Amino acid sequence: MKTSHIPRRGILGVAVVMLLVLAACDGGAEAPEADQPPAATASGTEASAEEVATGFLEAFGAFEADRAIGYLAEDAAIAQLNGSVGSNAGGTLDELRLLIDFLEAAGYRQELGACEETGTSTSGTEVRCPFEFHLFGSDQLGLGPYAAGSTFDLTVEDGLIVTASQDFGTVEFSPEMWEPFADWVSTTHPEDVAIMYTDASQSGVRLSEESIRLWRRNVIGYVEDHT
């Protein structure tokens, strides 16, 4: 609405409303920072370890790196999460972002089971979350989801995750997807092998921006060639 069209009697009303809004903003609590985990549930109680773990993994599976990182303690041990695909990754947040980018590029689809506490340690409350997954376009090929032995193991302390690891169950996935895909890449795009994998055996993923670009292109190509 253009201000030139506001009647004079409406100007005072607008001014009063603006003063009320400014007063409310000045006296209210500060807005929470973006990408931070909820400190409490809808009932107002402190989030449980299972709820923290679930929130983190939902963000992880949705490829929302910033939201996932918001659930991590500052010194969280995540090397075993970043290295879950047998990659060259360590324990940094930048490497976690690369892992999430890789999973998105490689067609990762995560079906998360119920997270449950498994005990406590000096580090905090231990939580295990089973999951099923699709990867390399397995869902488009009518294969999977793959489940056997697939878990996330996390430790939660003071509402934040202090350790996180992921274990892919590969008993069925390896012969149905990993090995056929690796053979296809080495035959169709042999020049990509050294960039996409950590070594010539093609047993682990190399995480880099260039590698992720090739994974995205080749997963699409693999699915097109097999449908």
Q: C-alpha distances in angstroms, 27 versus 22, 30, 74, 197?
A: 9, 9, 31, 55
Report the pLDDT value the prediction gives residue 84, as an integer from 0 to 100: 93
Residue 151 above 50 pLDDT?
yes
In a domain, 107, yes or no: yes
Q: Which helix (H) or strand (E) holds 25?
A: helix 8-27
Domain count for the chain: 1
In a domain, 30, yes or no: no
**pLDDT average, residue stretch 216-221:** 98
Q: What is the pTM of this model?
A: 0.81
Give me the CATH number covering residue 175: 3.10.450.50
Taking only the tens place, the pLDDT of each residue in 51-74 is: 999 999 999 999 999 999 999 999
In a domain, 1, yes or no: no
Domain around 74:
49-225
In a domain, 11, yes or no: no
Average pLDDT, the chain: 86
The maximal CA–CA distance of the chain, rounded, in angstroms, is 79
In a domain, 18, yes or no: no
In a domain, 17, yes or no: no
Report the pLDDT value the prediction gives residue 5, as an integer from 0 to 100: 43
Share of the chain above pLDDT 90, in %: 77
